Structure 1
Amino acid sequence: MLPRETIATAEIPGGETLTLVSHGRDHIIMLGRDELMGTRMQFSEEQLAELTLAELNRKAPRVLVGGYGMGFTFRKALEKAGEGARVVVAEVVPEILEWAKGPLAHLTGDSLEDQRGEVVLCDVAALIDDANDGTCGKWDAILLDVDNGPDGIVRDGNQRLYSRTGLGKARDALMPGGVLSIWSAAPDHRFRIRLKEAGFQVEERVVRARPNNKGPHHTIWFAHRR
């Protein structure tokens, strides 16, 4: 059995420690003893971007992604968004970008040089607030993959994203007809109700972690601004 080798660690602001490990040819980001994400199970994070942009069906959309991670959602958004699109990622852990340019460079490729994309070192909630106060334009889509879901908070400050107030701010930061998409490791019936109470039209899909219809089942909510 291949051992896991620690490559690097990083502290989440107001949270726990992330550990980047290698396991043979695969890489995994650990949160404590739990696997947060890895190269063997990236499909659902790619689906977060691909399915959202298919739901949106707009040319040159403005897309905000909460959390870079290993860049799966960011790269798929760039691939599917088309010419003239704008894809901005909010990431709170600076070391994540160092890993993307270092030990994970084989995954990153030239995506960080794509002129349509940008990674901003900040809380995604700050960019949502900027859209609401006019500092920046509103978004066609907001994709959140900063936790393991509404009931799997990685960083205490993220709880506000899933509150009724936070969801209302996300709704107001969207263009009419825009989509708020949220990835979760597990279903959450109460959260689906909360999305509806925040004024969204909600669709829920279950996707597998691997493209061969294997691996854990993950949940994605697509909340449409009416």
Structure 2
Amino acid sequence: MTVAGLASAVVEEEDRSSGVLVDSGDIPGGGRLYLVQHGDDYEILLGDEQLMGSWASRSEEALATLVCDRLDGHAPRILIGGLGMGFTLAAARSALPSDATIVVAELVPAIVGWARGPLAHIVGDSLEDPRVSIAMRDVHDVIVDERAGFDAILLDVDNGPDGLVTAANERLYCNWGLRAARAALRPGGTLAVWSAYADDTFSDRLRTAGFSVEEINVDSDGTGKEPPHVIWLATAQAPSDLDN
């Protein structure tokens, strides 16, 4: 590391003085993520904005279990947008049958590196599961390349339905992005979106894009003291249903 780089790292660590800076990684297209350790716990930050913490995984796990409970038929194929700390992936692995296919789209190489390094004790052996493949791509690009290819798409790439991590993520939540997700789903498939907050306008956009919508509040930490996280379960309607 150069002297300038070392000085930068020291400043970054001092700015996150409540924890220890473990590593950082560039976001393709701009921005930087930070992995910070607090005793036995870890968090991933975008600047000073927390994206996730290892001590709170209930709603990330619910994102998978709520979807998987609705799947029927053999050999389901699902897309998870965002590896994070692996909580959604682990819950999907537990809930899905042996003939399932799980594609995880992850934009940031450092996230995958952390899963195999300092977060390996949290992620476990999820990345070694033969049902799991990692696509080092923007989840939006994976979606638009598919036509009726997934039984479910699970999105947890921002703190809600807006482009926080990268402005390009707005494409996922706008009207045409939601229509692209619907086209990537098999008939009756589910688009599930995780959020740290409610957004009535997003529910309306989902309906406009051709989904029937259920909005579920999840106790984020199990105490009921914190505002609930929100999961939208949006079922792709058949064309005939849209005409009624």
* TM-score scaled by length of structure 2: 0.86
What is residue 101 of structure 2 aligned with on the other side? 86
Residues 194, 77 of structure 1: CA spacing in aligned structure 2 closer, same or farther, 3 A cutoff?
same
Query: How many residues are aligned here?
Result: 221
What is residue 12 of structure 2 aligned with on the other side? none
Which letter does structure 2 place at the counterpart of 1:96? Answer: I
1:201 partner SS: strand
234, 237, 242: which one pairs with 1:223?
234
Write out per-residue CA displacement over residues 24-75 of structure 1, whole angstroms, 9 at most, x where no aligned residue: 1101001111211011111101100011111234443100000111111111
2:165 partner SS: coil
Does the CA contact (< 8 Å) of 2:162 and 2:169 recur in 1?
A: no
Which letter does structure 1 place at the counterpart of 2:34? Answer: T
What is residue 240 of structure 2 aligned with on the other side? none
What is residue 32 of structure 1 aligned with on the other side? 47
Which letter does structure 1 place at the counterpart of 2:78? Answer: V
31, 44, 63: which one pairs with 1:16?
31
Distance 1:57 1:162 in 2: 26
Instruction: Give the deviation of 1:211 after TM superposition.
Output: 3.9
Write out per-residue CA displacement over residues 4-26 of structure 1, whole angstroms, 9 at most, x where no aligned residue: 00000011122421100100110
- Worse-matched range after superposition: 196-205 or 215-224: 215-224
1:191 aligns with 2:202: yes
114, 117, 123: which one pairs with 2:132?
117
What is residue 4 of structure 2 aligned with on the other side? none
Does the CA contact (< 8 Å) of 1:41 and 1:215 recur in 2?
A: no
Distance 1:53 1:41 in 2: 21
What is residue 43 of structure 1 aligned with on the other side? 58
Which letter does structure 1 place at the counterpart of 2:179? Answer: G
170, 176, 180: which one pairs with 2:191?
180
Write out per-residue CA displacement over residues 90-119 of structure 1, whole angstroms, 9 at most, x where no aligned residue: 000001111001000101221111000111
Higher RCO, 1 vs 2 (CA within 8 Å, ≥6 residues apart): 1
What is residue 207 of structure 1 aligned with on the other side? 218
Distance 1:218 1:26 in 2: 20
Distance 2:124 2:213 in 1: 35
What percent of counterpart residues are identical? Answer: 49
Distance 2:108 2:78 in 1: 20
Larger Rg: 1 or 2?
2
Distance 1:12 1:182 in 2: 21
What is residue 112 of structure 2 aligned with on the other side? 97
Gaps of at least 5 residues in structure 1 are none
1:69 aligns with 2:84: yes
Distance 1:107 1:29 in 2: 13
Gaps of at least 5 residues in structure 2 are 1-16, 238-244
Write out per-residue CA displacement over residues 155-176 of structure 1, whole angstroms, 9 at most, x where no aligned residue: 1111011011000010011011
1:64 partner SS: strand
RMSD: 1.5
